[in-house]
Chain A
Amino acid sequence: MKRYETILRVCATTAIFVGSFNAEATAAEGLRDVIDREVEAAWQREKITPSPPADDAEFLRRVYLDLAGAVPDYDETVAFLADKDPAKRAKLIDRLLDDPRYAQHQADVWDLLLFTRSPPGYDTDKREHFQTWLRKQFAENVPYDQWAGAILRADGNTVDDGPPMFYVQYKSKPEDATEAITQIFLGVQLQCARCHDHPYEPWKQVDFYGMAAFVSRLDVVTVGKAGQMNKYAIGERPSGDILFTGPAKDQQPGMKGEPIGPKFLLGDAVKEPPLPKDFKEVKFTPNQPPPAPPFSRKNELVTWVTGDSNPYFARAAANRVWAQYLGRGIVHPIDNMSPSNKPTHPELLDVLARELAGHDYDLKWYIRELVNSRTYQRSSRGGSGAELPQWFESARTRPLSAEELAESWRTVTGYAAAEKLSGKKPETSRFRPLEGGYVLRFFGKPYNGVGDFQGGLHEHLYLNNGPLGTVISSAKGSLQDALLTGSESSDAKVDRLYLSLLNRPATESEREKIAAYVAGGKPDERWREAIWAIITSSEFRFNH
């Protein structure tokens, strides 16, 4: 095991050295330029032919989905495609980054990461206060290290503040909290080390429990009620140790075990002040804020996780957000950053991490650089057929999330516009008019455990025979209404259909196909069926 630790340290040193030598941004150069330079240099080296740049329509739909979590509507599409301004892409990016939907979308992405679709723990499904808080962090562009720190510090309660909800899901399960914290915020997978020394990685079982010791004294305390909802706070007991008994397979009843103190992952042990002689263990009283311990292990962890001395935090964040936009991490899978899993572009990853930390973890700045790069703005046409191209030579293909689908269906069919026009107060569900639980069941977990897209028979049955038809509104203001009652030519109508549903003009052959289809039956039924056929097609289902 010792051997790996050495390798890790050597790698880290070399990488920083090489990075500062070759790949660093010069004063005149933005991060986006470094990205393109490094990615394009790798193509040369690997003899890869990239896809052409994305055209405006391709870029438009992709960037809307990636920044706002929904596709643009007809008017936005037409205006952008007609705009002659050479800087229109950068301007659109700026506009979307300031759109409230940016905060919503980012909050969705991180909420899903922090809680998954079915979080463990009681009441974690009722976390709208956490979600509101998270949205606010993105709306105000609070630096990532600050809000990540707030989640781990867990001050206040789950209703008035929000952040403590993260730990609530791990009540009495410090090992699970440890796995989640290291995977999400440090990009490393320690779960193997929970039960045994890891066969290929530098961390041993004692390293796992050294990290677990930071959160092993935490407890969930009910501190009040807000309506039907419980308010929870996180208390930290002043004493108590994890007793380590060795590999899981050797466990026997009655084993005593050695106490393991807090120790940062492959870093230093934390020296704790001794407890006073007359010390009595604290019992948390319901409905009272838990008192702070004389020495907080949890707060030591927060300082280390989000601080400069930790080699993982910035790299993990830079790599994770990169993968959100480019499809694949420079280290992939993104939460398995270990000496045995090499980055494809090591110098670039060093620069990204250093620049993100150097810009005080300003995620909006970082995302702006990513999506302004030529690399992000490649076409998804051509390429190898791989979903997540390893050398970023083509744009990736990713399925829309359940939230993106519902919002996009509502936008493109004009359901949302008709709803607005009707003057009636819309339902508040994000999945309206579809039933949320139902949408989540079919579209909420699009991947399996190794990241393969799982859309299949169930989804198609839902799309064919389920309630999707309720989104295809025919009310005034809807697309269907415009197609039926409009006086435009047939070609112009097909263009409207495509610009509305897929944010691009129709091709010549598509114009013919649709015109023939509509002419083959009752126009209202045929337009409706054409809308259905497009919003259930693969081109709609994926962001590409």
Chain B
Amino acid sequence: MAVIGRRTFLAGVPLGTTAALLRCSRVAAAAPNAPSSVVASSSPRQVLFIWLAGGASQFEMWDPKPGRSTGGPFRAIDTNLPGVRIGELMPKVSQRMDRLTVVRSLSTGISEHGQAADLLSTGRPKEPTVAYPELGVTLAKELSTGRGSLPDYVSIFRTSEGRRRADPGFLGAADMPVHLERSSRPENIERPSDLDAAQFSARAALRERFDRSFLADRTGRTTAEQYAAAQGRVAGMMDSVPLFDVDREPEREQARYGRSPFGRHCLLARRLLEAGVPVVKVARGFWDSHHDNFESHRELVTDYDRVFSALLDDLQERGLLERTLVMVLSEFGRTPKINKDVGRDHYAAAWSCAFAGAGMRRGMVYGKTDADGAEVVEGKMNAGDLAATIFSSVGIDPQKHYQYGVRPIPLAPETANVATALLS
């Protein structure tokens, strides 16, 4: 299905919705003032997905409530956006707010880690009979140029806490990301030690000859041909080993991102984006602060502030910010109530996320919570709305369908509304 530009839609041709109606009777739910097939007019071509696993606190980051019983000990500070204040643990980010888009009105309903992570990373609650692809997988599939030897999606999740693989779901293994878990280098990317380069290619050439003669007149050759063709990408992937080595960056660059694992991973992400990988995910764990929320956030947010600011500057200097959507998500936020262990628990009723780069309207704060941060009072978005808005911002029609068996499945739920005000 063709992607529908906003102008086309305004001209009164909501193709996405019409096609959906023809296929499945449950469509037709999007509110008329927020059609769910809107897409942004100038679309990024790459996505950097930062995942704060465990649930980062909106109070200590994007939506501070100083002076309230829910506010905690930290102050709010001014930013370079008039009238917008964020948590004092992000002084560097505060001076870059004009490049950011912050959503303060997420209300996503589920506050258990696994289920909420499923919800936020697919835009839908988990259904046992349909495994939905993770957002990054769908984005990578849509943004893939289908060329070159680099993977379409690299997911960096080195910390053990809350580790999840970005699941291709019903899309299957062909859309599986390259996972960097045990090492910063993809698995099976280096030649076995008992083969030299000449042996390796002689062996591969022999295999290719076998394939050619087998495929000559065979039933199922289309499938087998695709299978054999994928072998041709192996050498290119193996050549990309140096790309995964951040030590090749000049000392100055390494210092800028710092030595923390999160810093190293963001630097790696920048290398991959610069090389043309369509989607990169960096996950940072240990946000689940049931105990000593303020101590742990003092450490985590400070690191985040430094790394994220360096990343934004670097992406901008290299011209990457113009073509990259940066999105910062968690499975949920944290409770207004400060518990007896000076922690904050899971909270999905009112929390925040942030964007930068292309696709979303820069320098914008969207939505509002009440004085205590307990409820959303303006611009409420659920996980489906968020997914639909993300797809729209990257120029993908959220109501585009993938076929799963007999069932056409739109990228975002049929009921999702795009927050059009957020789109650039």
Contact = CB atoms under 8 A, between A and B. Distances in A.
Contact of B231 (A460, A509, A530): A460
A19 interface: no
Contacts of B228: 538
A542 B25 CA distance: 39
Contact of B192 (A341, A386, A469): A469
A170 to B, nearest CB: 7
Contacts of A534: 207, 210
A179 B405 CA distance: 14
Interface string B188-212: 1111101000011011101101110
Contact of A539 (B199, B204, B210, B238): B210
B26 interface: yes
Interface of A: 51, 118, 120, 169-170, 173, 176, 179-180, 189, 191-192, 195-199, 247-249, 333, 335-336, 341, 380-389, 394-398, 442, 445-450, 452-462, 464-466, 469, 509-510, 513, 517, 520-521, 525, 529-530, 532-534, 536-539, 541-542, 544
Given A380-B220, A381-B218, A383-B219, A248 B26 contact: yes
Given A180-B129, A449-B403, A456-B230, A387 B223 contact: yes
Interface of B: 24-26, 29, 127-131, 151, 168-176, 178, 186-192, 194, 199-200, 202-204, 206-207, 209-211, 213-215, 217-224, 226-228, 230-231, 233-234, 237-238, 402-407, 414-415
A449 B405 contact: yes
A468 B354 CA distance: 44
Contacts of B29: 249
Contact of A179 (B129, B174, B226): B129
Contact of B199 (A333, A458, A521): A521
A214 to B, nearest CB: 18
B19 to A, nearest CB: 14
A529 B238 contact: no
A333 B406 CA distance: 8
Contacts of B24: 192, 199
B190 A537 contact: no
A383 B215 CA distance: 12
B190 A465 contact: yes
A521 B25 CA distance: 65
Nearest to A378: B219
Contacts of B188: 458, 461-462, 464-466
A335 B406 CA distance: 10
A6 B238 CA distance: 60
Given A191-B407, A453-B227, A461-B234, A542 B129 contact: no
A173 B128 contact: yes
Contacts of A536: 207
A51 B170 contact: no
Given A455-B230, A537-B210, A381 B224 contact: no
A335 to B, nearest CB: 8
B173 A461 contact: no
A387 B203 CA distance: 28
B220 A387 contact: yes
Given A381-B217, A464-B204, A457 B26 contact: no
A450 B405 contact: yes
A465 B222 contact: no
Contacts of B169: 449
A516 B108 CA distance: 65
Given A452-B172, A461-B187, A461-B237, 18 more contacts: A180-B129, A196-B26, A333-B406, A341-B406, A382-B217, A386-B219, A387-B219, A398-B220, A442-B173, A448-B170, A450-B404, A456-B227, A458-B178, A459-B230, A464-B192, A510-B213, A520-B202, A541-B227
Contact of A465 (B168, B189, B403, B414): B189
Contacts of B199: 521, 525, 529
A160 B170 CA distance: 34
A458 B176 contact: yes
22 contacts: A247-B26, A380-B218, A386-B219, A387-B219, A395-B219, A447-B172, A448-B175, A449-B404, A450-B404, A456-B226, A457-B151, A457-B233, A460-B231, A461-B188, A466-B187, A529-B206, A534-B210, A538-B210, A538-B227, A541-B224, A541-B227, A542-B224
